[in-house]
Amino acid sequence: MPEYISGELKPAGLRCLAGIHYHPSIQAMKGLLMMKKRTAKLIDGKKVSEAILSELKQEIEGLKAQGITPGLAVVLVGEDPGSQIYVRNKRRTCAEIGVASFAYDLPKETPEKKLLDLIAKLNADPKVHGILVQSPVPKHIDEQKVLNALDPRKDVDGFHPVSKGKLLNGEECFVACTPAGCQELLLRYGYDPAGKHVVIVGRSNIVGKPVAALLMQKAKGANATVTVCHSRTKNLSAVTQTADILIAAIGVANFIKARMVKKGVVVIDVGMNRIPDATKKSGSRLCGDVDFAGVSKKAKAITPVPGGVGPMTIAMLMKNTVFAAKRSGK
Ligand code: GUN
């Protein structure tokens, strides 16, 4: 696009030089353009997750030299396309860093008893250090019953009641991967939640509740004042506007708008929503719970979707699996 300097047309591609004075109308135009630009720093989950995975890969080499190969069983029941993608990514990451992956793809009609029998078998298998049952499971299966059946020492997803109880108590435990990923991103980018007001939008068992428990702990990397908002929260904007750190995990595309946040907020977007997009070959694209274009003009820092929290979830799963293997000592 051509640029104008002092009313003259400047050929496209030429850079502006210091000391050039712009016509006032051009200054105004520039100001307008500046206003439209993202000012927030991008919190790059892809980059951080790659760094973590490369650290883990080295650690696994050391463990293998001691005769320990971390092993993760990933169980998928049914053919949910979203779950299939998640599971494929988890298994691929295992292969990339040297974790032994045990794949169980069961048909959607699998009786609950059969799944419970498989869990019992995996609990007893010394080669399996971590077990993950991809959520959601088909409706005829009681998901909580399945999670309760896991050996808590192999609960690398952090979904077992023992893990959740320990998290709330502030004891060492497997922390659910997405909450752990949110915390890791904040810390690696220098946004320590200590003393900050963290507002979480969403109260799910997988993200909202555990991330609240994690960040409110009297512990390094936590010590936040935490507010959890949800569908029944009155005057939500009034609460979200007080957030120093906002964690959006509500599962509604572009839900958090610029007017709902204060200037300088740090935003972690956990949302993973597929929305129609005619410009894409697939006809759709992924988007978060945060209106990125608007909010990124007010925020100090923000995670993109994709490339933010998503890759961190897998990295933390691998970290938990390596921890489980080390602790088992075999
Ligand atoms: N479904 C969506 N996220 C997750 C996750 O982190 N773990 C499992 N097991 N299922 C999920």
Work out which ligand 1 atom sits closest to the CA atom of 317: 6
Domain-located, residue 318: no
Domain-located, residue 275: yes
* Domain boundary, last residue among 152, 170, 188: 170
Does one domain contain both 226 and 149?
no
pTM of the full structure: 0.88
Domain-located, residue 223: yes
pLDDT at 22: 54
pLDDT at 32: 54
For the chain, list residues with pLDDT below 50. 1-19, 33
Burial class of residue 156 (count of CB atoms within 10 Å of its CB; 0-12, 13-18, 19+): buried
CA dihedral angle for residue 63, residue 53, residue 184, residue 42, rounded to 10 degrees: 170
Does one domain contain both 305 and 221?
yes
Domain-located, residue 75: yes
Yes or no: say if 193 and 186 are a contact pair by the CB < 8 Å rule.
yes
Residue 185, H or E segment: helix 177-188
Domain-located, residue 321: no
Query: How many structural domains is the chain composed of?
Result: 2
Cβ of residue 180 lying under 6 Å from some atom of ligand 1 = no
Q: Which of 28, 44, 36 is nearest to 298 (CA)?
A: 36
Does one domain contain both 128 and 241?
no
Residue 269, H or E segment: strand 266-269
Question: What would you report as the CA-atom Rg of the chain, rounded to the nearest whole angstrom?
Answer: 23
Output the CA–CA distances (angstroms, integers) from residue 220 to 56, 296, 327, in the order listed.
22, 28, 22
The region that residue 108 occupies, defined by phi over 0 for left and psi between -120 and 50 for alpha, beta otherwise, is: alpha
Cβ of residue 256 lying under 6 Å from some atom of ligand 1 = no
Cβ of residue 132 lying under 6 Å from some atom of ligand 1 = yes
Q: Which amino acid is at 72?
A: L
Pairing mode of beta strands 225-229, 197-201: parallel
* Domain boundary, last residue among 170, 191, 213: 170
- Determine the distance separating the centroid of ligand 1 and the alpha carbon of 165, expressed in angstroms: 19
The whole-angstrom separation of Cα 317 and Cα 186 is 18
Domain-located, residue 296: yes
Does one domain contain both 76 and 136?
yes
Residue 80's domain is classified under what CATH number? Answer: 3.40.50.10860
The whole-angstrom separation of Cα 271 and Cα 310 is 9
Q: With the C-alpha atoms ordered 88, 133, 312, 292, is the resulting torsion angle positive or negative?
A: positive
Does one domain contain both 151 and 216?
no
The residue whose CA has the least distance to atom 2 of ligand 1 is 135
* Domain boundary, last residue among 143, 170, 197: 170
DSSP per residue over 186-229, as a string? HHHTT---TT-EEEEE---TTTHHHHHHHHHSSSTT---EEEEE
The residue whose CA has the least distance to atom 9 of ligand 1 is 134
Cβ of residue 240 lying under 6 Å from some atom of ligand 1 = no
Domain-located, residue 128: yes
Reported residue count of the chain is: 330
The residue whose CA has the least distance to atom 1 of ligand 1 is 135
pLDDT at 329: 83
Return the half-sphere exposure (C-beta side, CA atoms, 13 A cut-off) of residue 133: 28
The whole-angstrom separation of Cα 53 and Cα 285 is 26
pLDDT at 15: 35
Preceding omega of 306 cis (within 30 degrees of 0)? yes
Q: Which of 258, 257, 284, 282 is nearest to 272 (CA)?
A: 284
Does one domain contain both 137 and 243?
no
Yes or no: say if 64 and 99 are a contact pair by the CB < 8 Å rule.
no
Cβ of residue 320 lying under 6 Å from some atom of ligand 1 = no
302-320: buried (b, 16+ CB within 10 Å) or exposed (e) per residue? bbbbebbbbbbbbbbbbbb
Does one domain contain both 164 and 180?
no
Yes or no: say if 223 and 193 are a contact pair by the CB < 8 Å rule.
yes
pLDDT at 4: 30
- Determine the distance separating the centroid of ligand 1 and the alpha carbon of 121, expressed in angstroms: 21
Residue 306's domain is classified under what CATH number? Answer: 3.40.50.720
Cβ of residue 157 lying under 6 Å from some atom of ligand 1 = yes
The residue whose CA has the least distance to atom 8 of ligand 1 is 134
Domain-located, residue 150: yes
- Determine the distance separating the centroid of ligand 1 and the alpha carbon of 64, expressed in angstroms: 28
pLDDT digits (tens, 9 = 90+) for 228-250: 999 999 999 999 999 999 999 99
Work out which ligand 1 atom sits closest to the CA atom of 178: 6
Does one domain contain both 222 and 298?
yes
Cβ of residue 134 lying under 6 Å from some atom of ligand 1 = yes
pLDDT at 12: 36
The whole-angstrom separation of Cα 208 and Cα 302 is 18
Does one domain contain both 107 and 183?
no
The residue whose CA has the least distance to atom 3 of ligand 1 is 135
221 is in which domain, residue-wise?
A: 176-312
pLDDT digits (tens, 9 = 90+) for 174-232: 999 999 999 999 999 999 999 999 999 999 999 999 999 999 999 999 999 999 999 99
Does one domain contain both 120 and 243?
no
Q: Which of 182, 199, 213 is nearest to 48 (CA)?
A: 182
pLDDT at 14: 31
Does one domain contain both 191 and 307?
yes
Does one domain contain both 121 and 221?
no
pLDDT at 125: 98
Catalytic residues: 90, 134, 157
Work out which ligand 1 atom sits closest to the CA atom of 135: 10
Residue 133, H or E segment: strand 130-133
